[in-house]
Amino acid sequence: MDSAFKSVYQSALEDPETFWAQAAEDVHWYRRWDRVLDDSTPPFYRWFPGAQINTCFNALDLHIEQGRGEQAALIYDSPVTQTQRTFTYAQLRDETARFAGALAGLGVTKGDRVIVYMPMVPETVIAMLACARLGAIHSVVFGGFAANELAVRIDDAQPKVVVSASCGVEVSRVVEYKPLLDEAIALASHAVSHCVILQRPQALATMQERRDKDWNQLMSTAEPHDCVPVAATDPLYILYTSGTTGQPKGVVRDNGGHVVALKWSMKNIYGAEPGDVYWAASDVGWVVGHSYIVYAPLFNGNTTILYEGKPVGTPDAGAFWRVISEHGVKVMFTAPTAFRAIKKEDPAGNHLQRYDMSQFECLFLAGERTDSDTLHWAENKLGVPVIDHWWQTETGWSIAANCRGLGLVPIKEGSVTHPVPGWDLRVLKEDGTEPKAGEIGALAVRLPLPPGAFPTLWNAPERYVDAYLKQFEGYYSTADAGVIDAEGYVYVMSRTDDIINVAGHRLSTGAMEEVLADHPDVAECAVLGVADALKGQVPMGLLVVNAGCDRSEVDIVGEVVQMVRDRIGPVAAFKQALIVPRLPKTRSGKILRGTVRQIADGEEWTLPATIEDPEVLEEIADALLRAGYPGSSVTVE
């Protein structure tokens, strides 16, 4: 472990209150804290009790006071609508203050909830910041999310106002949001007082008299609203975890710890300095979008990119390189699945030759395991450090990373490097003891969690304890399995439910995916455990091959089976793989392994609310049927 990093890590581990108090000096407070950490009612720990703060002030007004008012704060780049807009910090503050005034005019005050059901447009960021300005609690729900799922969230959050748009624009279609919103409100028990609708020219929404308000009309008469001081421990937002069915889990983020941790992370993890252009290629509906499109870059005085497009198809596999070149991006953060898609379409990296990437300094990946093939492809093509790091909706920022701002340490393939300062990460066996270095177990974080992590679930403290804290007393269970080697490097192998039991041997599907991804014809892959009468479970692979590959399925499958046998051994019992056109994924890029397993095993299953393209499951089910699996064909509405 590098000595500079180790010194910072140890200081946070040994005296977290002093460490985070020092980090908090970089933040604007209306009133300082009574104590750094309230540990009086474990496991419900609270950071900076007694302090007063405003998140929007730290994101916008503070930088204007410090002379950054004319610096670009937000660049909106939309290849799907062929639109670009740039907002300076002063312009973004003024628009946000006016929309805060508009919301206040609709009766929104401190503590009220506002659901934001929007596409990737600047007004989405403005709505989030406006809520923070008022001390209201926003809950962003993907625009285009199914009506019944939106209704469940309306009933749980009980918003006074829903902010939405007439439509979202995809690569090849326009998705009308307003009919989905109307249906959700009809399904919900909670009565929404008002809806604010941004009319987009691609599809105009039908407005309901009295309830629905036009965004532009409201803004034309709204008076700017000042920032409202709130308690550091007051909620900033609720973000519902992906893939929930029935009663959703609303992850709560508070104001004070969130500002402190995220501002610290920009310099120390990502190495981004004020004024740098930073791009998180994600969606504001996910935690990545909350933390690293909207809040952290603005806390740090960066220019952030809001991209309404895809890694391929808008218009081609050079889309990311255009954005980086055109806007001078220094640091980028995206999911490995985006780079797999680019590599699949342009394995030689020909599109890169069209763009000047000289100012680009570093790529960060998170959201799914980064296989070594994708890692090396990105390193070779971009010529910059490519850093895999690991975090979750619940944590709000990175648990483990190669901290660029503290000095990069050597990269190990398959590792997310070391726990970040503030995170006391352990590997635990089922009995709660720690195994030897290098042995697999459950990854868990010793309490208290650092600032910026979720202090509870919305209106569900018992569920918070049951779901996250009960498995190992005194620890947050990440539900991820992995190892920490003798040098302290962390390897996140898979979700704990993706550890399969083959004839009594506990095996990681992630380790097998690493092998499959090394095959030169494989662009993407997934491994899941399917039922077997003799062994209990056996692994099965799904393979997506590179564009232009014309080799036979028999040859490719035979080769990957042999590769797993050579590298992991016969104990893996890996004998089955299917070539499929695409992998089923959530909109954040996570592969729906559990759903595919249920289909393969012939179990009842529910269409995940967060699936990006439901028709992919039809393709997977057909491939499984042809291969003799018992799952019945899928009907997708």
Measured between alpha carbons, how far is residue 278 from residues 64, 121, 285, 375, 395 in Å? 19, 17, 18, 20, 21
Longest dimension (CA), the chain: 71
Are 70 and 191 part of one and the same domain?
Answer: yes
Length of the chain: 637
Number of domains in the chain: 2
* Residue-level pLDDT at 252: 98
Is residue 219 a part of any domain in this protein? yes
* Residue-level pLDDT at 244: 38
* Residue-level pLDDT at 632: 38
- Tell me, what amino acid is at 550? D
CB of 418 closer than 8 Å to CB of 409: yes
Are 271 and 148 part of one and the same domain?
Answer: yes
Measured between alpha carbons, how far is residue 537 from residues 71, 429, 601 in Å? 57, 21, 10
User: How far is residue 76's CA from residue 304's CA, in Å, rounded to a whole number?
Assistant: 9
Closest C-alpha among 294, 343, 299 to residue 320: 343
Tokens of 601: 């095993």
Is residue 372 a part of any domain in this protein? no
Q: What is the pTM of this model?
A: 0.84
What dihedral do alpha carbons 38, 41, 43, 47 form, nearest 10°?
A: -20
In which domain, by residue range, is 583 found? 505-626
pLDDT averages per 10-residue partition of the chain, 637 residues: 84 98 98 98 97 98 98 98 98 98 98 98 98 98 85 96 96 92 96 98 96 98 98 97 64 98 98 98 93 98 97 96 98 92 93 97 89 90 96 96 96 94 96 92 97 97 95 95 95 71 65 87 89 78 91 92 82 85 80 84 77 81 79 38
Is residue 395 a part of any domain in this protein? yes
440 three-state secondary structure: coil
User: How far is residue 362's CA from residue 272's CA, in Å, rounded to a whole number?
Assistant: 10
Is residue 335 a part of any domain in this protein? no
Are 295 and 407 part of one and the same domain?
Answer: yes
Are 515 and 478 part of one and the same domain?
Answer: no
Are 244 and 291 part of one and the same domain?
Answer: yes
Closest C-alpha among 481, 506, 511, 486 to residue 496: 481
User: How far is residue 369's CA from residue 337's CA, in Å, rounded to a whole number?
Assistant: 9
Are 511 and 476 part of one and the same domain?
Answer: no
CATH number for 529: 3.30.300.30
Are 397 and 516 part of one and the same domain?
Answer: no
User: How far is residue 114's CA from residue 234's CA, in Å, rounded to a whole number?
Assistant: 15
414 three-state secondary structure: coil
Phi/psi for 301 (5° steps) reads 75, 25
Are 544 and 449 part of one and the same domain?
Answer: no
Are 154 and 197 part of one and the same domain?
Answer: yes
* Residue-level pLDDT at 634: 38
Domain boundary among 426, 451, 482: 482
Are 410 and 458 part of one and the same domain?
Answer: yes
Is residue 240 a part of any domain in this protein? yes
CATH number for 287: 3.40.50.12780
* Residue-level pLDDT at 498: 61
CA 537 to chain centre: 30
382 three-state secondary structure: helix
224 three-state secondary structure: coil
User: How far is residue 416's CA from residue 414's CA, in Å, rounded to a whole number?
Assistant: 7
Tokens of 81: 């609508």
Domain boundary among 419, 449, 482: 482
* Residue-level pLDDT at 594: 81
Is residue 319 a part of any domain in this protein? no
584: left (phi > 0), else alpha (psi -120 to 50), else beta? beta
CB of 401 closer than 8 Å to CB of 370: no
Alpha-helical runs (H) found in 431-538: 461-464, 509-517
Closest C-alpha among 576, 450, 621 to residue 9: 450
Are 534 and 576 part of one and the same domain?
Answer: yes
Is residue 79 a part of any domain in this protein? yes
* Residue-level pLDDT at 506: 56
Is residue 353 a part of any domain in this protein? no
User: How far is residue 452's CA from residue 223's CA, in Å, rounded to a whole number?
Assistant: 32
Closest C-alpha among 62, 69, 63 to residue 88: 69
Neighbours of 598 (CB within 10 A): 17
Are 433 and 559 part of one and the same domain?
Answer: no
User: How far is residue 8's CA from residue 507's CA, in Å, rounded to a whole number?
Assistant: 35
* Residue-level pLDDT at 172: 87
